[in-house]
Amino acid sequence: MTTALLADDEPHLLSYLEEQLAQAWPDLRIVGRAGNGIEALRLVDELAPDVVFLDIQMPGLNGLQLAEQLCGGDGAPRVVFTTAHEHYALQAFEQAAFDYLLKPIRLDRLQRTVARLKEALAAPAPAADPAAAGMLSQLLRQLGVAPAAAPASAPLQWIRAAQGQETRLVAVDEVIYFQSNDKYTSVFTADGEHLIRTPLRQLREQLDAQQFWQIHRGVIVAAKHVEGTRTDFRGRLLVRLKGRAEQLVVSRNYVDLFRQM
């Protein structure tokens, strides 16, 4: 008897799929139901179903990541995606998975999938398709989903700043400049100043050098907030900032940065 696993984070959709499958494929034995990707992966390992029906967007692991982990090895289950995604990705889904179903799932469409599945399962098991794995990881990138193991050196996105009892989160995008300040680092945004404990030296390593320029031993400025430079009467180079009164001194070592400007 063919066994199946269903995975969807929306419980009503899960029971509805089960209901429809009972109609379209009365012989199918549903051995497990998962509400998230991690649980689904565990159940696949444990129950070794012949077919899995995977929702694309699930917490933990999404359907694509899950399929990527499943498609290697012998006896891998046939993957059918269930999705409400726009059709641009569907062709790729089709190539990487056995089939896909658009939500809301129609019974006649499901019956076609069932017929194809029955046919395929009667035939000998296919060799693992290495192209499918590549297709999936490409798809994952297209959809902007980080691969399972995210690179550790990703640039900093959020800065935690203590403000009284609270920990404020400041998006790195909002920062106008950082200024070293004794033991602390001042973070200036349009909303004001925040103090953080991370030393400037350490921050510099975590920031995207294309977007943040060090102009002084104690100052890192966001390139997009730089309006221009001017030279004062003492011959120092100063950076003018968009919409702000203060001007930041460029130390001699970093003057080359602005030579072309």
Partner 1 sequence: MKNDDCTAPATTHPLELFAPFRRWPVSPARDLVYTLLWNSLIGVVLALCLWIFFGAPPARVLAGTLITSNIVGYLIHGMLVLLRRLVPATRKGWTSPAMRACRLLLTLSCAVFGLALSDALLGGHDPFQALVRGSRLAQMLPFGVAIALLIAAILAAGERRLAREMQAARQQEQMAEAARLLAEARLRTLQAQIEPHFLYNTLANVVSLIGADPARARHMLERLIDFLRASLSASRAEHATVGAELDLAHAYLDLLGVRMGARLRHRIEADAAVRALPIAPMLLQPLVENAIMHGLEPQVAGGTVVVRARVADGVLGIEVEDDGAALTHAPPRPGGGVGMANLRERLRTLHGPAARLQLIENPHGGVTARLLLPLETP
Residues at the site binding partner 1, with contacts judged by CB under 8 A: 9-13, 15-16, 19, 35-36, 38-39, 57, 59-60, 84-86, 102-105, 144-146, 150, 154, 157-158, 160, 166-171, 173-174, 190-191
C-alpha dihedral over 70, 73, 77, 78, to 10 degrees?
A: 90
Minimum distance from residue 54 beta carbon to partner 1 (Å): 15
For residues 53 and 107, what is the distance between their CA atoms, to the nearest angstrom? 15
CA 174 from centroid of its chain's CA atoms? 21
The DSSP 8-state label assigned to residue 252 in this structure reads G
Minimum distance from residue 35 beta carbon to partner 1 (Å): 8
Spell out the residues 6+ positions from residue 1 whose beta carbon is closer than 8 angstroms to its own: 27, 28, 29
Minimum distance from residue 181 beta carbon to partner 1 (Å): 21
Q: Would you say 160 and 167 are in contact if contact means Cβ atoms under 8 Å apart?
A: yes
For residues 178 and 193, what is the distance between their CA atoms, to the nearest angstrom? 10
**CB closer to partner 1, 125 vs 169:** 169
Minimum distance from residue 191 beta carbon to partner 1 (Å): 6
The values of phi and psi at residue 138, to 5°, are: -65, -40
The DSSP 8-state label assigned to residue 75 in this structure reads T
**CB closer to partner 1, 204 vs 224:** 224
**CB closer to partner 1, 186 vs 214:** 186
**CB closer to partner 1, 42 vs 112:** 42
**CB closer to partner 1, 39 vs 99:** 39
Q: Which of 207, 214, 219 is nearest to 258 (CA)?
A: 214
**CB closer to partner 1, 215 vs 222:** 222
Minimum distance from residue 102 beta carbon to partner 1 (Å): 8
> Dihedral of CA 153/159/161/166: which sign?
negative
Tokens standing for residue 73: 């090895």
Minimum distance from residue 208 beta carbon to partner 1 (Å): 13
